[in-house]
Structure 1
Amino acid sequence: MQLDMAQVYTDFSGLAALRARAREDQDAALDQVSRQFESLFLQMMLKSMRDASAGGGILDSKQSEFYREMYDKQIAMDMAGGRGIGLADVIKRQLGGGVSAANRDLTLDDYVGMPVLAVTPKADTLHADDIAAATATALTSRLDGDPEAFLEALWPAAEQAAQRIGIAPEALLAQAALETGWGRAVMRRGDGSSSHNLFGIKADRRWDGERVNTSTLEYRDGV
C-alpha cells in the first residue's frame, strides 16, 4: 500500500488518513510517522537558525516573519518527504522498523539458547579516536564566527562522524553552528585552547574524563 504523508504542512486530512491506515499497514505507517518526526525536527532547526541570524532587514515585519515561518515549515516537509537528513531512518529503527515478520511474534523464551553472534567492525568503520583527531585538527585555529570558515574547517570531521552514526553531515554542522555561534562561542580550557565541545554537551558525575567549567544562563519553563 502506498501511504503518502501530508504534502502541505496545513493538510490535516493527510495526518488523519495516516492514523486511520496505520491499522492496515503498520510498516508503511511507521515509515511515514518517522518522516513526520524528521519534519518537526527540521522545522525546529530552521527556526533556531533564523533566530540565531545577525538580525532582520529594513523590510522585515511581523507579516514577513509569519510568511517566512510558513515557508520554513513547508521546506521541512519537502525535505523530510524526499531524501531527508537520515533522521527518519534512525527513528524508524528505534520504533521497531525493519523487524522481519518471522521475528515479530517471538517472545523472550524463544531467544533463550540462541547463539550470540560476535560483532566484528568493518574494515572501513571509523573509530571515535579518528573523528576526535579530525575535529582537533580543524579547531587548531580560532573560529571567529565566519560561517564559510566554520563549514570549511569542520566539514571533513562532520562527514566522518555522520557516516558512522548514519545521518547527514549537514545536520551535525547545523547543530554545531547553533550551539557555538558558527564557532565563535566554543568553550575553552583555562589555557585558552579549544575544548572541542561543539554541541554544548554537559558532564555530570558519571563522566570521569576531561571537562571544562564555564558559566551559562539556563532557561526552564520560560524562567
Structure 2
Amino acid sequence: MVISPDISSKLAVDAKSVDDLHLMAKKNPDEALQKVAQQFEALFMNMLLKSMREATPKDGIFDSQQTQFFTQMHDQQLAQKISTKGIGIADMMVQQLSRNNKSIEPQTSISQTNNILSTINSNQQAPLIEGMHPNDKSGQLWSVYRSPSNAVMSAGKIDSAIEGLTAPIQGDIQKKSAPSQLANFIDRLLPHAKTASESTGIPPNFMLAQAALESGWGKHEIRHADNSPTHNLFGIKAGANWKGDVVEKTTTEYINGVPQKAIEKFRAYSSYAEGFNDYAKLLMDNPRYAKVLNSTDAATFANGLQRAGYATDPMYAEKLMRILNSEKLQNREFI
C-alpha cells in the first residue's frame, strides 16, 4: 500500500485514512504520531462545531435533510482545515509522546500512535446519530447529543470526551511517573517515621503504610483553604481538647456499615515532624491503642487499629494490609 501524500487532508473517521495511518505508524512512527495527533484535534474541532450547530434553531424554510447533509460535510472539512494550524492539542500530544521526551521509552511512539488509532477505529463502530453525515462514524464523540436536552455540550462533557480518548496516553504517563512519586513520598517521610518508631515501637514502614492509606500516598493530603498542606497524613481529627490549628473538610464516615458524607474538623500542623510526633502521642496516650504499640506483625498492627476504632471503615484493616504487603514497601529497606 502506498501512503497518500495528502493524508492530512482526510478525516480520520474514514476507514481508508485510518488504515493508512496504521501503516505509517509502522514505517515512520514519528511522522505518524504528528498525523494522528492532528486527526485527534480535527475530531475535537468537529465536535465543537457540531455542538454549535445543535444550539442553532433549525426551523427555517431552508432547513432540510439535504442542507444538513452538506453542512456536515462542510464542518468536517472546516475542522480538518483548522486542525492544520491547530489550537495546541496536537502539539501537546506530540510533545508528551515524542521519542525525544526522555520520560517516554523509545518504542512508546509506536504503541501510543496505535492506541489512538484503535480509539478512532472503535469510534467507527458506534451507532449513527440522527442527522449525521452517513460517512461520519465518530458516534462516540457525539453520544451526549442523544437527548434533546443536551443540545449544547457542557464543558464537563467535552472534558469527558477528551478524557476518554486520551486515557491510554495519560495512563502510561501516570504509570511511569508513579514509582518516582511513591519513592519520594517514602524518602521524605521515612526520617519522621523512624523518630516516631523509637517512641511507639511500631516499625516505620507500618506507619508509612497507614499514612499512604489515609492520604493516598500524599495525593489527597488534607489542605488549608489556600491549598497549603496541613501536614496531617493520618486523618487525625480535632476534638474539644485540641488547641492547635483546625481545618474543616468533608469526609466519609461509616455508620452501621453505610458510608455517609460529613464535615469534620481535622488537626493542622506546622511540619510533618510535628504531625508524626502527634500521631505517636495519640497512640501512646490512648489506652485503646495499647495492643497496637510495639507491633512487629503487620496483621496485628492493622487489625489492632481497626478494633481500637481508629477508623469507621469496616475494610480499613484489609486496605492497610494490602499496602503493607505491596511491592512498594516490601522492596524497601527501612532500617
Q: Calculate the TM-score normalised by the size of structure 1.
A: 0.42
Which structure has the higher relative contact order (CA within 8 Å, separation 6+)? 1
Larger proportion of helix: 2
Higher strand fraction (1 or 2): 2
TM-score by length of 2: 0.29
